[in-house]
Amino acid sequence: MAAKRPTVTIKEVAEAAGVHFSTVSRALSPATRARVNPAIVARVEETARRLGYRANTAASSLRTRRSHMVGLVVPDLASLLFPAILNGIEHTLQEQGYLTIVADTANDPERHRRILSAMVERQVDGLILASAMLHDAVLDEWLDGPAPIVLINRTDDSGRAPAVLSDDLRGIGLAMEHLAGLGHVRIGHVAGPQTLSTGATRRRGFAAAGAALGRRALPVAEAASFSREAGRLACAALLDAHPATTAVVAANDLLALGCYDALTARGLACPGDVSVTGYNDLPLMDLVDPPLTTVRFRHRDMGAEAARLLLARMAGQETAGDVLLRPELVLRGSTAPPSAAVGRGGAGPAAGGRRSPPRARR
């Protein structure tokens, strides 16, 4: 239908409408529209529509230094955690007239550096980074750059950029209380990489919750990455070292799925022999076998909140510190009271507690 038009500019609209092009500019911009004769505004809009005028953002961006684009950097696009987060970001931004550039670092710092550079060159007005590491040299280079930065899901240790996070301490606490309430005493943690704030904070949360329950030095196995395979390996190591374990708190859902694999491999049932909890409540976690008990936070809200925070910063407002999303525990089939059975794979030296009956839920 629309013929391959050779780009129509405000000058052509101006000529067709019989006014000066600066008037067209004013008439078309919501901010200045009020300053021009309503009749002319109507005429300009009509001719603009008729000629199929499309603003050239490159030109206006050059002039105004605002591109109305925001960059989102994620460490792994294929992770099931990001679709919903991206959704929340994108919708919130779109409502305010912003478009979102998305790029994937594939966990590669060099790539991270190139991406940030490319985004800044495209004059993004702000940046949302889901890719922060705890010590992040690349991030550091851009913290004082031209584009305001908001961190999401993970934070770094500089504390120089506001972050939108799940309250991991609380979330892990919820899982621990649930397991303790079920009667578990020998609880282990399959931790995530300690180079990431999620991995480190959840591990701290595990230790803190353990201490609060009067259990110090609960065993921890650290996974090399937040993946199912790494979870399997770490869980196997945990069970090797502590065969009497009756519950494992995994630092995220993928790790928990890996725990399922490790349990299956040694003929243990979940939750019959060992209970497992996850973190994130990824899509379909209610459908896996057994349905995963896990800690949930609203992914979409996390995205929306980060977008709002960035919008505020881009508007020059000072923002308060990090925002912590309140997590909730989703009870499903992967947790149950510890079984009374003993002697499974050489009970540890201090296996006495394992005989205690399940405590009442509190």
Interface residue list for a copy of itself (CB under 8 A): 1-5, 7, 54-59, 61-62, 67-69, 77-80, 82-84, 86-87, 90-91, 94, 97, 99-104, 106, 115, 117-123, 140-142, 144-146, 257, 282-284, 287-289, 300
Residue 26 or residue 354: which is nearer to DNA going by CB? 26
State in angstroms the smallest separation of the CB of 96 from DNA. 16
Give which of a copy of itself, DNA, none residue 25 binds (C-beta under 5 to 8 Å, depending on kind). DNA
Helix (H, G, I), strand (E, B) or coil at 57: helix
CB-wise, 28 or 164, nearer to DNA? 28
Q: Which is nearer to DNA, 60 or 319 (CB)?
A: 60
Output 104 or 273, the one with its CB closest to a copy of itself: 104
Please tell me the distance from the alpha carbon of residue 121 to that of residue 285, in angstroms, as a whole number: 40
Q: How far is the CB of 247 from a copy of itself (least distance, A)?
A: 21
356 makes contact, choosing from a copy of itself, DNA, none, with CB < 5 to 8 Å by partner type, with none
Pairing of strands 163-166, 275-280: unpaired
Residue 194 binds what, of DNA, a copy of itself, none (CB under 5 to 8 Å, by partner type)? none
What is the arrangement of strands in the sheet containing 247-250, beginning at the earlier edge strand? 220-222, 187-191, 247-250, 275-280, 293-296, 328-330
Residue 23 touches which member of DNA, a copy of itself, none, C-beta under 5-8 Å by kind: DNA
Distance CA 68, CA 61 (A): 8
| Comparison of 83 and 109: residue with beta carbon closer to a copy of itself | 83
| Shortest spacing between CB 129 and a copy of itself, in angstroms | 15
| Residues contributing to the site for DNA (CB under 7 A) | 7, 9-11, 19-23, 25-26, 28-29, 31-32, 35-37, 40, 53-56, 59-60, 62-64
Read off the tokens for 284: 């379909």
Residue 292 beta carbon to a copy of itself: minimum distance, rounded to whole angstroms: 10
Burial class (CB in 10 A: 0-12, 13-18, 19+), 284: exposed
User: What is the smallest separation between the CB atom of 139 and DNA, expressed in angstroms?
Assistant: 24
Residue 60 CB, nearest distance to DNA (Å)?
Answer: 3
Contact partner at residue 94 from DNA, a copy of itself, none, CB < 5 to 8 Å by partner kind? a copy of itself
Which residues neighbour 322 within 8 Å (Cβ) at sequence distance 6 or greater?
155, 162, 163, 164, 165
- 192: which residues sit within 8 A by CB, 6+ positions away? 198, 199, 202, 203, 222, 223, 225, 226, 251, 252, 255
Residue 183 CB, shortest distance to a copy of itself, in Å, is 27
Minimum separation from the CB atom of position 315 to DNA (A): 15
Sign of CA dihedral 262, 167, 170, 208: positive
* Binding partner of residue 99 among a copy of itself, DNA, none, CB cut-off 5 to 8 Å per kind: a copy of itself
Q: CB under 5 to 8 A by kind: which of a copy of itself, DNA, none does 297 bind?
A: none
Minimum CB distance to a copy of itself, residue 361 (Å)? 26
Q: What is the spatial distance between Cα 204 and Cα 202, in angstroms, rounded to a whole number? A: 5
24-36 in b/e burial notation, b at 16+ Cβ within 10 A?
bbbbbeeeeeeeb
The tokens for 34 are 């009020």
Nearer CB in complex with DNA: 122/135: 122
Binding-site partner at residue 19 among DNA, a copy of itself, none, CB < 5 to 8 Å by type: DNA
Question: How many other CB atoms are found less than 10 A from the CB of residue 342?
Answer: 10
Judged by beta carbon distances under 5 to 8 A according to partner kind, the member of a copy of itself, DNA, none in contact with residue 26 is DNA
Rounded Cα–Cα distance for residues 157 and 15 (Å) = 57
Relative to beta strand 328-330, strand 187-191 is unpaired
